[in-house]
Amino acid sequence: MTTGIDALAYDIAKIHLPIRTLAEARNIEPDKLEKGLGLIKMTLPDAHQDTVVFGANALTRLITDNAIDPADIARIYVGTESGIDSSKPIGSFLVSLMEQKFGHNSFAECDTVDFTFACIGAVDALHNCLDYIRLNPGKKAIVVATDIAKYDLESTGEYTQGAGAVAMLITANPRIIAIENNWAVSTKGVFDFFKPYRTIAKKDITNIDANEPWFGNLESVIEIHKDQPVFDGQYSNTCYTDRTREAYYSFKKLTGTTGSLYNTWEGIMMHLPYAFQGRRMFAEIFALDADTPLLTGDEEATDYQTRIREISKSDDYKAFVAQKLQPAEAASSLIGNLYTGSVFMGFISAIAKYAAEAKDLTGKKIGFLAYGSGSKSKVFEGTLQPGWYDAATNARLFQTLEQSHSIDFDTYQKLHKKEQHYSVLVPVNEWVLDRIEHEIPNLTGARYYKWVE
């Protein structure tokens, strides 16, 4: 028996700001963003959307497209770092919305919980669900990755924003990819990227956005939870490369792989905070784990870094990128960061590209290098199953992304600042955020959603 991903669905924000528009407004050379980081479009939520909406839309599609009987779903585990409540998980919202759609009490026996560890939370949810299915092969589990990657205006993260969700059905003998039970982990507690609760004096609250979730109302201070992270971009890249390299080598040890591990993989799925992150960070592993290593690890620190940079610009590395990394990058260029969903969206992107080239890849291995700030990497691998081609074709990923609606810079800024309260696109056949209960002065913040035909 194998376990893995049996079906996939997604919901990506339908509006975007062209990266060129952002570059011009911010006085950044467009080529840096387009050719240096691989960015083309940046998706963002419309006024009626939040992470529950994206997750619920992806989940509804997964259930409907695959005619899944709700009674067969034993658990819905959510990966997110954009939770909307410090107690009530997104999973709790999803279950109630699915009951609105698929029948009263239809999910009453379904287990649900959110996993949070920055961008790797949905991989943790997947890891857990695979173990569960291995123990209970007759059951079905669903993993939902849903996030809004939102950064401060004018920050270096601004051009990497994105929004959407991926939902995955996890079963025994899956149709798309069987995931082997080998998991290598590298963890280190660091502050590369985080979203702290900020404590501020009450006397300083005049400029606070009334839409922020509030809590911890003490006598003289108030704590607010900000959607946007505190981060150190270049340090986060160092943490990313260190963790993924360490987990990669742990995986080699775990599996007793003696030659180059990446040469055994048809494609490599990495966490992509922006399209070219994987190719910019993988050059070191490419050099160290080549059949004839290009680096020994004994070089002086500056020589070592210079050599990695040279290797990253070499023709051999460019050919490697085109073959093993580029298929997963294509969707990221058109979406931006999906946080927990990024590594899985990379997988959908890759299989869509493989299918378009009519490649026969059943039985081929795919490597996954997941990363979450904070920081942790997990490396695992899977084998493509005969249903991958139909799943890739039916997903219509690039046809869907092609329909994305371009907005202007002014609208982008208003949506970012939550100053625009009407939708850019009229929602059809999808979930919407209907209202947030605001009983001033007690802002309960309860959120209500509805399905619109």
Ligand X SMILES: CC(C)(COP(=O)([O-])OP(=O)([O-])OC[C@H]1O[C@@H](n2cnc3c(N)ncnc32)[C@H](O)[C@@H]1OP(=O)([O-])[O-])[C@@H](O)C(=O)NCCC(=O)NCCSC(=O)C[C@@](C)(O)CC(=O)[O-]
Residues within the interface to ligand X (CB under 6 A) = 29, 31-32, 35-37, 81, 118-119, 156-157, 160, 193, 231, 233-234, 236-237, 240, 271, 273, 277, 280, 337, 339, 371-373
Tokens of 28: 């950044």
**E strand residue ranges, 173-233:** 177-179, 184-187, 193-194, 197-201, 214-215, 221-225, 230-231
Q: Nearer Cβ to ligand X, position 193 or 317?
A: 193
Q: Nearer Cβ to ligand X, position 118 or 330?
A: 118
Tell me the closest approach of the beta carbon of residue 118 to ligand X, in angstroms: 3
The SS3 call for residue 157 is coil
Distance separating alpha carbons of residues 84 and 51, to the nearest angstrom: 8
Distance separating alpha carbons of residues 263 and 101, to the nearest angstrom: 46
Tell me the closest approach of the beta carbon of residue 295 to ligand X, in angstroms: 17
Tell me the closest approach of the beta carbon of residue 116 to ligand X, in angstroms: 10
Q: Nearer Cβ to ligand X, position 140 or 378?
A: 378
Total Cβ atoms within 10 A of residue 225: 17
Tell me the closest approach of the beta carbon of residue 37 to ligand X, in angstroms: 6
Tell me the closest approach of the beta carbon of residue 152 to ligand X, in angstroms: 10
Q: Nearer Cβ to ligand X, position 29 or 316?
A: 29
Tell me the closest approach of the beta carbon of residue 363 to ligand X, in angstroms: 31
Tell me the closest approach of the beta carbon of residue 239 to ligand X, in angstroms: 7
Tell me the closest approach of the beta carbon of residue 160 to ligand X, in angstroms: 5
The residue number whose beta carbon is nearest to ligand X equals 36
Tell me the closest approach of the beta carbon of residue 452 to ligand X, in angstroms: 31
Whether residue 52 contacts residue 97, with contact meaning beta carbons closer than 8 Å, is answered with yes
CA terminus-to-terminus distance, the chain: 41
Q: Nearer Cβ to ligand X, position 4 or 336?
A: 336
Long-range contacts of 155-160 (CB under 8 A, 24+ apart): 155/228, 156/233, 157/229, 157/231, 157/233, 158/22, 158/26, 159/19, 159/22, 159/23, 159/26, 159/28, 159/33, 159/37, 159/39, 159/42, 159/274, 160/37, 160/39, 160/42, 160/273, 160/274, 160/336, 160/337
From the list 387, 389, 268, 377, the residue with the least C-alpha distance to 329 is: 268
Q: Nearer Cβ to ligand X, position 89 or 273?
A: 273
Q: Nearer Cβ to ligand X, position 273 or 427?
A: 273
Tell me the closest approach of the beta carbon of residue 28 to ligand X, in angstroms: 8
Q: Nearer Cβ to ligand X, position 35 or 188?
A: 35
From the list 147, 116, 118, 142, the residue with the least C-alpha distance to 130 is: 142
Sign of the dihedral through C-alpha 42, 48, 51, 56: negative
Q: Nearer Cβ to ligand X, position 23 or 47?
A: 23
Tell me the closest approach of the beta carbon of residue 36 to ligand X, in angstroms: 2
Distance separating alpha carbons of residues 349 and 329, to the nearest angstrom: 7
Q: Give the burial class of 212: count Cβ atoms within 10 A of its Cβ; 0-12 exposed, 13-18 middle, 19 or more buried.
A: middle
Q: Give the burial class of 191: count Cβ atoms within 10 A of its Cβ; 0-12 exposed, 13-18 middle, 19 or more buried.
A: middle
Q: Nearer Cβ to ligand X, position 158 or 266?
A: 158
Q: Could you tell me whether strands 193-194 and 230-231 are parallel, antiparallel, or unpaired per DSSP bridges?
A: antiparallel
Distance separating alpha carbons of residues 7 and 206, to the nearest angstrom: 48
Provide φ and ψ at 36, rounded to 5°.
-80, -45
Tell me the closest approach of the beta carbon of residue 123 to ligand X, in angstroms: 11
Q: Which residues of 12-29 are buried (b: 16+ CB within 10 A; e: fewer)?
A: bbbbbbbbebbbeeeeee
Q: Nearer Cβ to ligand X, position 33 or 384?
A: 33
Q: Nearer Cβ to ligand X, position 50 or 192?
A: 192
